[in-house]
Amino acid sequence: MSYQVARRYLSDGKPEALAASGKAPVEAFVPQTHLPGHEAEIGFGGVTVRLAGEPVTCYLFSLRLSYSGKAVHRVFASCGQEAFFEGHMLALRTLGGVPRSKIRYDNLKSAVAQVVGLNRARAESDRWIAFRSHFNIESFYCRPGIEGAHEKGGVEGMIDYFRRNHFTPVPQVDSLAELNEMVDQWDLHDGRCRIGSRPRTVDEYFAVEQRLLMPLPEEPFETGRLFTPRADRYSQIAARTNRYSVPTRLIGKRLRVVLHASHLVVYDRNVEVARHERLIAKGSCRLDLDHYLEALIRKPDAFPGATALEQARSAGKFTPTHDAWWAQARKAHGERDGSRALIEVLLLNRHLAHERVVAGLATALRAGALTADAVALEARKAAQAENEPAIGASVPALPGQTPATVTSLHEWRLAHLPPDTTPLPSVAPYDQLLRRHTSGSDHREGEAQ
């Protein structure tokens, strides 16, 4: 037997031996009664999710009312203070009120700056004090370690139940928003269940409890964390351990960034200039291809190897239709001019929906129209969804495809001009000039004779 095994055996068996010999008290759990609308418990637990095909660890926030057992859950990319606050706001809005007495917490860093002594006194963080004062929350902190977990066993058991019943097998989703829609449905399902031997369901007990909760404040609370980074020469800003792109015109400027649990928003003064989904992995970067188009149209040779292009292709924003049109444009115009034409097409996304631009690309590709103007015209036609007959030549389609029609810009403009009601001019006055010219010629011929 190894030393570690022997030590673990003695450590686990010592309390039992002392209790059996009467030298130590027997550990006992005291049943508790919770008044409706008075208490709640909050906890965080790690869950494994297959997000966009990759296994990642996310964090499950849970708020559970102690009387009814009604619980609200939310999955976040982190368990930081932003997620802690947003989880509170979501849960309290869903429940329709705030517990009157207290909410039990672990000693989370999001709330507790320091554990003071061996009692329940805590030095709380400034933002947490402002948040719980805004919602009139009375906090109760459990003892550190495994002993404190028993003081809020309801939410700890709820998190284990939720993981066993809803995260096994591992959910496969494309985004956390999709996963949280599933979590909302699971909460609704669990509300129709009974806890243990209780005669009524969770929702039936909650109907009694909800009327006794304190009302929510009318004014909102900003849960995001504020940063003021400066955009570097790569048109990126740093937030925590990750980097995010901003438009190239903002290089060198100091910007205001509000970091939320699931996304971040970048402001130039009071104008929103970028919005990104928050990254989960540390040391990563998220680049928006649209932010680099002004620079790429001046440097089209840098477009094929751009990191933002690869991320757009992985996210499905740069489709195979884009690639096919780009390949044909490079054959027709050369590498540089073909890439510049595609960049001009990508600029259309600022005014037209992505699906419309892709439809315009597909139509132009089938017709062999490899200019940005042709794509813009077809995209606008798709956006307008007009039932007017197409003006122009019909292009034969490949088997299984519908015929493509491309309208020249000149013909399109002529077709949309108002009708011309001006009468046609008369050329009758000019006939007098012809008669005079004829008579003059005859006279000269007579003198010559």
Across 295-313, average pLDDT: 95
* First and final C-alpha spacing in the chain: 145
265, HSE (Cβ side, Cα atoms, 13 Å): 11
Query: Mean pLDDT for the chain?
Result: 86
- CA 326 to CA 304: how far, in whole Å? 10
pLDDT for residue 393: 47
Quickly count: other Cβ atoms within 10 Å of residue 138's Cβ: 12
> Under a CB-based contact definition with an 8 Å cutoff, are residues 59 and 51 in contact?
no
Residues paired with residue 98 on neighbouring β-strands, in sequence order: 214
Contacts of residue 304, defined as CB under 8 A and 6 or more positions apart, other chains included, come to 339
Task: Quick: pLDDT tens for 341-356.
Answer: 999 999 999 989 999 9
Q: Say if CB 104 and CB 39 are below 8 A apart.
A: yes
Residue-wise pLDDT for 46-92, tens only, equals: 999 999 888 999 999 999 999 999 999 999 988 889 999 999 999 99
Q: What is the dihedral sign for C-alpha 383, 388, 392, 393?
A: positive
Give the number of other Cβ atoms within 10 Å of residue 309's Cβ: 20
The neighbouring-strand residues paired with 11 are none
pTM above the 0.85 mark? no
State the Cα–Cα distance between residues 84 and 91, nearest whole angstrom: 11
What's the mean pLDDT in 144-164?
A: 83
